[in-house]
């Protein structure tokens, strides 16, 4: 089993963040023609004391590990943060991307986009210009 480690302080989830999540949940349920008492939804959410550190792990063909960090729901920058580790689990970099790729391979990032209007699915491929310069070890 492989472990990845990085020193980082846990971040609590603010009341504003909790309120936003609950409000979006209420809106989503009401858009489907249903209504639940607010207290029930608040209890159902059962927020943890701290925000999870990550919510997705990817790897590339060179064995690097990309850990997508969880950011606040109030963060509207559109940037997604990743911590990058080598295949032995040692931290190499922090980076931000404007999207979360589905696949990382041979110097390309692949993203899937589905049109809400037509349902058409598109795969976008982005070239990483400095792919050969990225570290693979510390």
Per-residue pLDDT of 2-60, as tens digits, reads: 778 888 899 999 999 999 999 998 898 888 888 887 788 888 888 999 999 999 999 99
Three-class secondary structure of residue 46 per DSSP: coil
**Sign of the dihedral through C-alpha 80, 46, 15, 13:** negative
What would the two tokens of residue 63 be? 């064995």
Q: Which domain holds residue 26?
A: 12-50
Q: Judge whether 123 lies within some domain.
A: yes
Q: Judge whether 3 lies within some domain.
A: no
pLDDT at 138 over 80: no
Judgement on whether residues 72 and 98 belong to the same structural domain of the protein: yes
- Tally of domains within the chain: 2
Determine the Cα–Cα distance for residues 138 and 136; give it in Å rounded to an integer: 7
Judgement on whether residues 78 and 133 belong to the same structural domain of the protein: yes
DSSP 2: -
């Amino acid at each position: 089993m492989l472990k990845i480690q990085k020193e980082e302080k846990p971040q609590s989830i603010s009341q504003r963040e909790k309120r936003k999540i609950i409000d979006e949940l209420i809106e989503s349920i009401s858009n489907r023609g249903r209504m639940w008492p607010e207290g029930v939804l608040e209890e159902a959410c059962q927020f943890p004391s701290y925000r999870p550190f990550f919510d997705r792990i990817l790897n590339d063909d060179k064995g690097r590990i990309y850990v997508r960090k969880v950011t606040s729901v109030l963060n509207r920058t559109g940037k997604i943060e990743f911590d990058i580790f080598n295949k032995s689990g040692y931290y190499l970099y922090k980076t931000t991307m404007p999207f979360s790729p589905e696949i990382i391979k041979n110097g390309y990032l692949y993203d899937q986009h589905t049109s809400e209007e037509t349902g058409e699915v598109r795969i976008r491929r982005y070239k990483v210009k400095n792919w050969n310069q990225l570290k693979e070890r510390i």
